[in-house]
Structures are given as C-alpha cells and as structure tokens.
Structure 1
Amino acid sequence: MVRPVVVLLHGFLGFVKWGPFEYFRGVKDALCHVDIDPLTPEVPTAGTIAERAEVLAHKLFRSNTPAFALVGHSMGGLDARYLITHLDPDRRIKSLITVSTPHQGSPLARWFLESRGPIQAYIRHIGDPGLRELTPEACRAMHIPDRDDVHYMSYASCRPPGELPFWLRPYGRAIDEDNDGLVPVSSAQWGQFRGVVRSDHIELIGWSLGLPDAQSGRPFDHLAFWTRVAAEATAAAERDNI
C-alpha cells in the first residue's frame, strides 16, 4: 500500500508564506510531528478556479507521486474539486476534505461586487476575477461533478455574531444563516459532512483576531483540528488505494 501525500490548499487571496506569516499557521510543523509531511503549493491568489486548479495540477503531477489526499480551506476546496474532475486523468487524487469551502457560494462575494465603499472597491480590485466565481449564482452554474472513486468529506465552521472579531462581525450579520463570518454553514457541506466546529473563518487557520475567551472556546485549537483532518484524509485515501 502506498501512503498518500497530504496537500494543504489555501483559499481566496491566500498564500503559503508571506514574510514571517504562514497561511496555515504552524500546521506544517504540527503535521511533521505526527509523521505527515504535507505539500503546501501556492496558486494565484485571485485567479479563477480553473486557473488555480491548473497551477495546482502542474505542481502536483510533475512528480511521480502515485497518490494524494487533498485538504482545502475555503476556495482551496473548489480548486481541488475542479482538479479532481477535470485535471487528474491518472486518478492520483484519492480523497478530499474541504473546510469552510463555499460550495454553494457566499452572499458576501455578491455583496463585495455590488456594494459601494472603499473596502468593497479595494476587494474588487485585488480579488478580480476569482471573487466573481464565489457568488451563489456562479457556484450553482459550475460544472464540477464528483468522481466516483474519490472520497469527498467536509467540515463547516461557525460562530454567532457576538463571538466574531469586530472586523468580521458586520459580514457575519449580513449572512442570513449560521456562518463563520464569511461562509454559510449550509454552503460548506459537501460529500460526507463531518460536522461544524466553533471557529471563525480566519481563526480556523490559526489567526485568532478576537480576544481569548474560555467560555466561547477562543482561540480555536487549530493545530489539533488540522492534525485530525490530515489523518482522516490520509485514512480515506488509503482505503481507496489498497
């Protein structure tokens, strides 16, 4: 049995490392401590899903690695689904876990595109064209059918508006259902749904920008979470790769 390589996929406007900052803060080191050495490929921060997936395919498939277990945060999960469906002719992807991925889009993407204001204008400027693909309408129109031989799983995250950091709170209140400040819980569900964790969208990857609070479980233990998720993705890929 070949052990699959775990791949961590960043989201919209994401990066791998920017100066001292890691997108998945401390996660690579935490996984190495449990004998998982993940790949962390960088894709165009505001590219379309197809563009990001094509870069990802080039980076993964230029090696002869026979099996991969993908773990995508936010838009990274959409990139992964596109890659699996359209860009993996050798069927090397064996499993995918998405975490707070807007599979059905996010109303906030539409809000940023249609609303006036300096913040909205700035996000449109740096987020084009990827932002346009994250609206509910665009996500519903995408043709990315699942592949029968891949195990798809998902997690959502959520905090009530009062638990969100001040800068995320207006966005959380603008979404008419449970959400993590950016993505509705219902939109994050795909394949085998593994549940909802108590975290905001950015806190998920280790950047807790609210005050510590034991009652609300802040900061979220992201290292334990991603270690569990990587192990689950690996186990699912190994079951399909015996």
Structure 2
Amino acid sequence: MGSSTTWLRTPSFPDPPVVPLHYPVLLMHGLGALVFPWRKSQLHPVATYLRQHGIRAYAPNVAPYAPIARRAERWRQHLQTILEETRAPKAHLIAHSMGGLDARYLISCLDGYRHVASLTTIATPHRGTALAQLILERPKVIRRWLDRLARRLSHLLLPDEPAALLEAVAQLTPAYLTDVFNPEVPDCPDIPYFSWAGMAGPGTNVPITPCIAPLARYIYRHEGLNDGYVAVRSARWGHFLGTLPVDHLRQVGVHLGPGARFHEKMFFRYLCYRLCCAIEMSAFVD
C-alpha cells in the first residue's frame, strides 16, 4: 500500500540546486532580431532560468544591427549598471555569436578588463564567416532591401538605436576579422577566454533548422563544418572547450522548424557551474 502512494510524496527540500557564483553573469546576444514579442530579449528565458538557480544573470538588449564598437559601448553601459546594482567588482561574460566580438572589444578597447572575470564565447565568428562576404556580394538592390528591412526591425525592437546592417556585416567578413579586428583587439592576458563552436547540417549527422540549411551548405563549401552561420574553425578562440551538436538558432532557443534537440538553458547553467565556479574558486584562494 505504501509503495503504491510513493509518487504522491513531495520532497522535503524541493528548491532547485543553487550555483554559488560570487560574480553576476552578463549574457550577450549576437547580430539580428532573433526576438519574439513574448521574449523581452533574445537570452531572457536563459537569464530567468539561471536566476532560478541562484545566479544573478542579466540579458539586456543592444542594437541588433550595428557595428561592433557601438554595440560594445552599450554593453559597457549595461555592465556598469549591473555592477552598481549587484555591488560586485566583476562579472562573467557569456556571449553568443557577434556578442563575442563585442565582448572582446569591450575588454580590450573600453577598459572592460577591469571588471570582467572571464569571457566565454559560443559560435562567435572570431575569424569571420563566409556568409558575411556572400551578403556584401549580392546585387545593390538586394543589399538596399536588406538594409531597409533591418532598419524597420531595429526600430520596432529598440527605437532609439539606429541600424547599420551593412556596416555590421562588413565587420564579420574573414578579411576584416583577420586583417583588422584581431590585430587591433588583442586578448587581455589577465582574463581567461573560452570558446565553443556549433555544427549541424552538411558533413554531420545533426539535423539543422530548414530555413538556414542553404546557408550551412554554402559555408560548408568554403569553410567546412559549421552551424548554419559560423564555421567551427572560426569559433575557436582562447581555450577551446568543444563543439555543440546543434545549429546557430537552437543554441539560444530559437525554434523555427525541426532540428536537433538541445537544452540551451541547461547548457548555460553548466557553463556557470563548471566554468565560472572553477575560475572563482581559483580567484578567491588566498
């Protein structure tokens, strides 16, 4: 009789496990308007989940279609607000896609190194992406149409932030990242840099979101394994931690059709627990 009612019992301490971070976490989104009306920001659901585990996570918005320097300045302002609110001296940065380039610029060019405990990038095009060059090579009429569309989307999301899609895309080309950005934005030796890549579609057995499958095929022909936006070899930076079997959209919980199953919220919690805690434990040793 007792065993048949076991499922009715409730645990005496049902709260989710707490991740004991000293520093808050700033989640940084990438290029584009991958935001739905019911999501306050691209990574807001992840931030909410992390807070349920005791992590002071923040997922603010910056201009979705703007060059790196302008986005990085907005991130700097958000970081300052977070540190003032939490009274913490530093924060961990976890950045997706172009957000990783913003973070590197923030650290190296805007004195962010004083207030950053670590940087983890996910599918960031550190060496550019062939997709950016493809966009810039389209006929002028198509580029103008894309630019107008970006301006309208940007105005809907953040009315006070002017859009500059083509300028932003130009900064994601392999030539710009390799010849200009990387030499001018060196890593800070006192900050640990970590990176993850993603892969799906051609060359893998990982299903990819159908709408980005053509992009993945194009990148595969030019740069090899990729997640539909960024090649694996481009995403490697600092201490490379591995390749996620999931496409670029699903890495941040954007589902636009069938694709690989991936628990992005649990992955971000894993980053905080395994990565950030290890950094903090070594930093707080007397």
**TM-score normalised over the length of structure 2:** 0.76
Cα offset for 1:13? 1.5
- 1:91 match: secondary structure: helix
Matching of residue 181 in structure 1 with residue 228 in structure 2 = yes
Query: Is this contact kept in 1: 2:229–2:248, CA < 8 A?
Result: yes
* Alignment RMSD (CA, Å): 2.3
Q: Deviations over 1:58-101 (max 9, x none)?
A: 22124253011000000000000001111126711010000000
- CA deviations 1:162-181 (Å, max 9, x no partner) are 72222111100001200000
Contact 2:107 2:116 (C-alpha < 8 Å) held by counterparts: yes
Mapping 1:1-242, distance limit 5 Å: 3-14=22-33, 18-21=36-39, 22-24=41-43, 26-62=45-81, 63=84, 64-88=87-111, 91-116=114-139, 121-125=144-148, 126=150, 127-140=165-178, 141-142=180-181, 143-161=184-202, 163-175=207-219, 176=221, 177-211=224-258, 218-239=260-281, 241-242=283-284
- Contact 1:49–1:78 (8 Å) recurs in 2: yes
2:153 maps to none
Once the two structures are TM-superposed, the CA of residue 208 in structure 1 deviates from its matched residue by 2.5
Which is strand-richer, 1 or 2? 1
- C-alpha distance in structure 1 between counterparts of 2:145 and 2:51, whole Å: 37
**Letter of the 1:68 counterpart:** A
C-alpha displacement of 1:190: 0.4
Higher helix share: 2
Q: Percent identity?
A: 33
Distance in 1 between residues matched to 2:113 and 2:218, nearest whole Å: 43
Q: Show structure 2 runs of 5+ residues with no match.
A: 1-19, 151-164
Structure number with greater Rg is 2
Seen in structure 2, the aligned counterparts of structure 1 residues 89 and 112 have a Cα distance that, compared at 3 Å, is closer
The offset of 1:14, in angstroms, is 4.2
Ranked by relative contact order (alpha carbons within 8 Å, sequence separation 6 or more), the top structure is 1
The TM-score normalised by the length of structure 1 is 0.88
- Asked if structure 1 preserves the Cα contact closer than 8 Å seen for 2:97 and 2:123, the reply is yes
Question: Cα distance, 1:237 vs. partner?
Answer: 4.3
Q: What is the identity, as a one-letter code, of the residue corresponding to 2:192? A: H
Counting matched residue pairs gives 236
The answer to whether the 8 Å contact 1:149/1:240 transfers is no
**What's the offset of the Cα at 1:225?**
1.0
